[in-house]
Amino acid sequence: MGVKQEETIMQLREEWKLLTFYQKFEKIVSLILSFFIALLILSSLYKLGHHLVSLLLAHGLDPIDYKSFQKAFGMLMIVLIAMEFNHSIVKVVYNQKGIVQVKTVVLIAILAISRKMIILDAKATAPMTLFSLAAILIALGCVYWFIKEEDESS
């Protein structure tokens, strides 16, 4: 091991000693959750790759066909949402911050609503549903902007 790695390990041990019982518990649970989410991401990535290859080879994925594109893009967004969720949990392990980070939760919600809007068939969806999703997306965007502004000012 290099000198830098040894220093980092020593620093982590010292920080671990300073944590309360609950903080240690929270970090351990976060590590376990992160591991399980990583397994889900790997499984989803495998399924996504398998599905895209079969679409390309067997069915000839036509990127101009919006149904195929929506389906493929929706699957990609699921993996991205899971990765962002895992990233938020990993941040708890490496930072002194608590488990609930409102900014990250709002960002994940924005991604999920965006995904929903991408995969929706606008012709088959009621106008009020589209309006509601758009209003939710705008509201979440405003909340995210306010939280980001507050973080930057403090």
- Residue ranges covered by each domain of the chain: 3-153
The dihedral built from the CA positions of residue 28, 33, 36 and 42, taken in this order, carries a sign that is negative
Look-up of token digits 């992160």: 34
d(CA 73, CA 150): 33
Q: What is the pLDDT along the chain (154 residues), one digit of tens a residue?
A: 677 778 777 887 888 888 888 888 888 888 899 999 999 999 999 998 888 888 777 766 666 677 777 777 888 889 999 998 888 888 777 775 665 578 888 988 999 998 888 888 888 889 999 999 999 999 999 999 998 888 777 7
d(CA 88, CA 83): 9
Q: pTM (2 decimals)?
A: 0.72
* Closest to 33 (Cα-Cα) out of 81, 90, 83: 90
* Closest to 88 (Cα-Cα) out of 143, 34, 42: 34
